[in-house]
Structure 1
Amino acid sequence: MKAMRIQLAFSSILFFFFATFSFAQDFDFFYFVQQWPGSYCDTVKSCCYPTTGKPDAEFGIHGLWPNYRSGAYPSNCDPDSPYESSVVNDLIDSLRKEWPTLACPSSDGTHFWEHEWEKHGTCSESALNQHAYFQAALDLKKKIDLLQILNDAGIKPDGGYYSVSSIKDAIKQATGFTPWIECNADEGRNRQLYQVYMCVDTSATNLIECPVFPRGKCTAQIEFPPF
């Protein structure tokens, strides 16, 4: 009887472990997040250019993040699936261009991509392996050319101020879907266009309306600084 109780207890622990792990692998949608480098650098903290040189004055990828409809998100789902640069070797040039790091100290981007894969990418392994995860983000970047969309609407990174509603409207008109705008503050505490979130289905292919938006607010008028 005692042995049976021990076995049942052990089975319950195993069930809980695998159920929890399996749940961690499930998600409802992705946030695809692009970042304006001028706003990243125009802060008290400032920035450092990659060792490969100053990035282009373009929105850069920040991440492709699995999320739940509740607003919560899974993270660090598979410690046995570390980032391996050899797996994405054919994508490195594109990652340097489209997914650059501006963190200090300067680096070649490897640590940034490692962090994004291990924190976020491993939680989408049920849908995407490591190569497919980075390729999907690069494909989405091609599909959503934010700078071109905003330029076409007369919204330019010239240090001017634009309404958040006009930025959202321009992106929605071009893509068909509602973005979420994140702001940060420059050294003078002026709010500026920092990141744009779009929502993507679990295949990381198709844009969708966001089931839930992140928290945070911008002022009605925000700066679009140069880079």
Structure 2
Amino acid sequence: MGDFDFYYYVSQWPGSYCAQSKKGCCLPTTREPDEDFFTVGLYAATSAGTVLGRCPYKEYFDFSKLVCMEATLSGMWPSIKCPSNNGISMWKSLWKNSGVCTNLELIEYFEKGLVLYYELNLLNALKKHGIVPDGRLYQLADIKQALKEEIGEEVGIRCSTNLEGEFQLYEVYVCIDKSFTTGVIPCLTLPYFTCSDEILFPAFNVQMLKKNGTRNSLELQVE
């Protein structure tokens, strides 16, 4: 494990994920995901903003340790990548590339991500300020201010572009105390992302997810 100073907790808006590619997005094979932001990951970062990756293993990925939270992960931390899949490959890759760099055990890593999902409640925070996923344009500054008021600190906003080349709300970066004792903290640094002054907040519902193929159900679960 490398030395780091804080965590980036990253959430993704699935409506933007679906709108940025002709492939669209697919319904997981496990259960319908929540119509909300999805957890993407918890990343160990240095004060300079460098995200640690591919650290020496302290624990191999063993999905049997996560079975007790599989339904919750499938709702809040799902893979809607096509073809339809059960999310295990995504969680395994995240652990191998990022989770091993934290000071957390495997089950603790995913538990912390789910707790932050509940505590931050990003979609509700935006709705309190009249910012809803209705496909309209919103001022980027208003989105940042709404989240700052509800969460307590400045966040980072990453944009993607849809098929028409329009910028849209894609990911939210929140800085988290390394020890989790104080939760959200002022960011030592935030990544720079290109966005326009106004960005789309695309709609999302599970009916948008295609059922066009599945992976082999015998995905590798243990290394």
The bucket for the TM-score relative to the shorter chain is 0.7 to 0.9
Residues 36 and 123, structure 2, Cα contact 8 Å, conserved in 1: yes
Query: Which of 176, 181, 196 lines up with 2:157 in the alignment?
Result: 181
Query: Which of 131, 134, 138 lines up with 1:162 in the alignment?
Result: 138
How far off its partner does 1:76 sit?
Answer: 1.5
How far off its partner does 1:123 sit?
Answer: 0.5
- The 2-side partners of 1:197 and 1:57 are apart by 19
Query: Which of 66, 90, 111 lines up with 1:135 in the alignment?
Result: 111
**Structure 2: gaps of 5 or more residues:** 205-223
- Count of aligned residue pairs for this structure pair: 202
Letter in 1 for 2:132: K
1:116-140 CA deviation, whole Å, 9 max, x = no partner?
111111001xx31111111111100
Residues 58 and 100, structure 2, Cα contact 8 Å, conserved in 1: no
Is 1:216 the counterpart of 2:185 in the alignment?
no
Residues 157 and 173, structure 2, Cα contact 8 Å, conserved in 1: yes
Residues 31 and 71, structure 2, Cα contact 8 Å, conserved in 1: no
CA RMSD of aligned residues (A): 1.3
Residues 44 and 101, structure 2, Cα contact 8 Å, conserved in 1: yes
Is 1:66 the counterpart of 2:44 in the alignment?
yes
- The 2-side partners of 1:179 and 1:103 are apart by 26
- The 2-side partners of 1:51 and 1:210 are apart by 37
- The 2-side partners of 1:203 and 1:109 are apart by 28
Letter in 2 for 1:191: F
Is 1:112 the counterpart of 2:75 in the alignment?
no
Query: Which of 178, 186, 203 lines up with 2:179 in the alignment?
Result: 203
Residues 174 and 184, structure 2, Cα contact 8 Å, conserved in 1: yes
Q: Answer 1 or 2: which has greater helix percent.
A: 1
1:17-44 CA deviation, whole Å, 9 max, x = no partner?
xxxxxxx422111100010000000012
- List structure 1 segments (4+ residues) > 3 angstroms apart after TM superposition: none
Letter in 2 for 1:186: N
- 1:4 alignment partner in structure 2: none
Residues 59 and 105, structure 2, Cα contact 8 Å, conserved in 1: no
Q: Among all aligned residue pairs of Structure 1 and Structure 2, give the percentage whose two residues are the same amino acid.
A: 38
